[in-house]
Amino acid sequence: MRKIILLGLLFNLLSVKAQEKITTYTMWEKEYEIQSTEPSDSAYSLYIDGVPLDKTVDKGGLIVKNEYLDEFINCIKFSREKYVEWTQTAKDNNIKDLKKDVDIKKIPKLGGYFNYGSWHFDFNVKPYFKYTISETKAGLINYSLIIYTGKLQASDNEYIDSDSFVYIFYSINEIDDFLLKLNEELVYNHFGAKNFKGDLFK
């Protein structure tokens, strides 16, 4: 147990300094960051900020290692297909209220992070996906795809946790824009440009 805690603390210290912002995406008319660690032997991790459901936590989200990135993207693409199919079915049948799990056969175990006084990490996160339909007071029907991180448990302290972070999309365009931001070229372009600038001043 002590070894796990020490490893968690070491990862905590390294992670806060290691990643850099490579892009942003918009959710609820607010920008959220996607950061990445610098690739080393072609390995890197994305840190994707989400919306906290825990009011005591101000920032956090999913950590996606590049070896699991394609699986994660495939989960989103499958959910996108269901979003298209179910939205059309709902419109055809005048359905205005629905909550339904997206049944995905293989969801990779990812990581999670959150700030509660200091940075904390969960190394065993399995996100889940839901499709919802809701009607506003003004009569507007919202069709949404939601990715939940699930509860995050700090690896360095069993008494510290966070409610889920969420990623909410209200249209195909929003889903597609998010998928574009998960392109590894953004990572290599960012750090390649950074290293090129450094080479100029050796």
What whole-number distance in Å separates Cα of residue 39 and Cα of residue 116? Answer: 28
In the prediction, which pLDDT does 3 show?
A: 46
| Backbone CA torsion sign across 21, 44, 145, 122 | negative
| Backbone CA torsion sign across 140, 179, 128, 117 | negative
Cβ neighbours for 52, distance < 8 A, ≥ 6 positions apart: 58, 59, 60, 114, 162, 163, 165
Regarding pTM above 0.95, the answer is no
CA distance from start to end of the chain? 45
Phi/psi at 104 (5° precision): -105, 130
What whole-number distance in Å separates Cα of residue 189 and Cα of residue 196? Answer: 10
What confidence tens digit (pLDDT) does each residue in 46-85 have? 999 999 999 999 899 999 999 999 999 999 999 999 999 9
Provide the mean pLDDT of the chain: 89
What whole-number distance in Å separates Cα of residue 190 and Cα of residue 39? Answer: 10
What whole-number distance in Å separates Cα of residue 169 and Cα of residue 129? Answer: 11
Indicate if the pLDDT at residue 9 is higher than 60.
Answer: no
**Side-chain half-sphere exposure of 91, counting CA atoms within 13 A:** 10
- Mean pLDDT calculated for residue range 144-170: 96
In the prediction, which pLDDT does 18 show?
A: 80
Residue ranges covered by each domain of the chain:
2-186
Residue 11 — very low, low, confident or very high, per pLDDT cuts 50/70/90?
very low
Q: List residues bridging with 129 in a β-sheet.
A: 147
